[in-house]
Amino acid sequence: MSSATETDALPAVPDKRYFPIGEASALCGVKPHVLRYWEQEFAALSPVKRRGNRRYYRTHDIHTARRIRHLLYDMGFTIAGARAQLTEGATPTAIVASTSPLADIRTELESILQKLEE
């Protein structure tokens, strides 16, 4: 579920049951308003709301938010694309693997172009 770039840039998730929104946003590398927006856009992200409508994120919510962040910021997906990836359950590595043949073709075409220019 986590990629190398995701774990390198973000702090480790402490072994706690609930995280307030400020702590959750720091763990996910986004601002609190971004987490609130993602709650509206992604059904998979649904923190517990307690007294005064305060949000408390569980560990799996943190991991979901990190995955959303990775899909949006690192992989370049749109909100709709990231939503589709979450509902399909596709892993980012599967997505990268599917684009690998395209990268090979591009490299081959670039080498052919270099030979033609010589």
pLDDT tens across the length of the chain (118 residues)? 444 444 457 788 888 899 999 999 999 999 999 999 999 999 889 999 988 889 999 999 999 999 999 999 988 899 998 888 888 765 555 555 555 566 777 788 888 888 888 8
3-state DSSP helix/strand/coil percent for the chain, to nearest 5?
Answer: 65, 10, 25
Residue 23 lies in a domain: yes
69 within some domain: yes
Q: What is the CATH number of the domain that holds 75?
A: 1.10.1660.10
The answer to the question of residue 13 being in a domain is yes
Is residue 19 situated within a structural domain? Answer: yes
Give the per-residue pLDDT at 2: 46
The phi, psi pair for 56, rounded to 5°, reads -130, 120
In a domain, 101, yes or no: no
Provide the domain limits for residue 28: 4-90
In a domain, 102, yes or no: no
> How many structural domains are present in the chain?
1
In a domain, 29, yes or no: yes
Beta strand 19-20 pairing with 48-50: unpaired
Q: Domain for residue 109, yes or no?
A: no
